[in-house]
Amino acid sequence: MMKLIIYIAIGLIVVLLYQLMRIYQLSSEIKGKNIGVANEKDNLSQGRGVMLFVAGFFIFLIWLIIRFKNDILPVAASDVGKTSDSLFMFNWVIIFIVFFITTALLFYFAYRYRKSAKNPTAYFYPHNDKLELIWTVVPSIALAVIVIYGLSLWGKMTEKASSNALNIQLYAKQFDFTVRYAGKDNKLGPSSYKLIDDASNPLGMYQDSAACWDDIVVHGELHIPVGREINIQCNARDVMHGMYFPHFREQINCVPGMSTFMHFVPTITTDSMRLIMHDTAYDYILVCNRVCGAGHYNMFLKVVVDTKDEFEKWMATKHPQFEGMKHGQSGTPVTMK
């Protein structure tokens, strides 16, 4: 009901404004004024209005930045994340400087060069080689710097991980991530989708491969040690999923039928991040960012960055999938042809 009254009031105000303008127009006509042509006074008030508008717009923008600057992601918690953030910031600085200068000039020129007795006709200025050269070369250089900066970061993100990195597999499926640690040998044993059995072998690991015997499968959370390079092999069981670590500024697709990789060094433990965020319940997260089906919204994994000792302690509580299998002991090996 209240809403209806507000709408009616707005409608009446519009009608009122229209009628006022109509009265002004008619009374001017009676007085013999030609209100169809803007005079010097009109141009000055319009020009000032334009300047006022852009000043208000800039104030609003600056307010937005200050108001929401704490609602974006916190400080990057990985080595590549820091570079990624500085690249992002570099872009913002360029965008803001150019935006404020060009927008301010655009509106100022509308005011400065309004029609007046001094400026009765517009100045015809069709071409200037020097100006064109400047506005082509300067943005080209700026873009080249951004692209080279970005490519070097991309190269760092996608190069092969070092040999002493901690190897982890993240297996995505509708709608969760399963974690596999490579165990003592730091080698992820081979696997095949044909061997997948949700109860006994959710990742389809080869039971007769010694590299699989110490591999540890974990559901529900991912623990990683701070300060050590983490090499993640990403796989998907059904459809394409996204593997996105917002706090580490890392993302890669998980594609059925192939492995993709990412690596980074976590630099801030969960406990330290909780202090930074003044939030004792703050957690890192891994989310799927490909729309992969009806349960996509719920596809995420809690990520815990431990100290080295905490990580080892946590790891010691976990058991390999094929615990007890040793060389010369067959168990019930599965052989794939």
Q: Which stretches of the chain bind Cu ion, using CB under 5 A?
A: 241, 288, 292, 299
State the Cα–Cα distance between residues 251 and 254, nearest whole angstrom.
Answer: 10
What residues contact residue 16 under an 8 Å CB cut-off, 6+ apart? none
Give the residue with the Cβ less far from Cu ion, 171 or 322.
171
Phi-psi domain of 265 (left: phi exceeds 0; alpha: psi -120 through 50; beta: other): beta
Secondary structure of residue 199 in the 3-state scheme: coil
Q: How far is the CB of 265 from Cu ion (least distance, A)?
A: 26
Q: How far is the CB of 188 from Cu ion (least distance, A)?
A: 21
What residues contact residue 312 under an 8 Å CB cut-off, 6+ apart? 225
Q: How far is the CB of 293 from Cu ion (least distance, A)?
A: 7
What's the Rg (C-alpha) of the chain?
32
Give the residue with the Cβ less far from Cu ion, 230 or 292.
292
Q: Which residues pair with 143 in a beta bridge?
A: none
Q: How far is the CB of 113 from Cu ion (least distance, A)?
A: 56
Give the residue with the Cβ less far from Cu ion, 241 or 263.
241
Give the residue with the Cβ less far from Cu ion, 180 or 290.
290
| Dihedral angle, C-alpha 22, 28, 29, 33, nearest 10 ° | -140
Q: How far is the CB of 161 from Cu ion (least distance, A)?
A: 24
Give the residue with the Cβ less far from Cu ion, 223 or 241.
241
List, in sequence order, the alpha helices (H) in 163-289. Answer: 210-213, 270-277
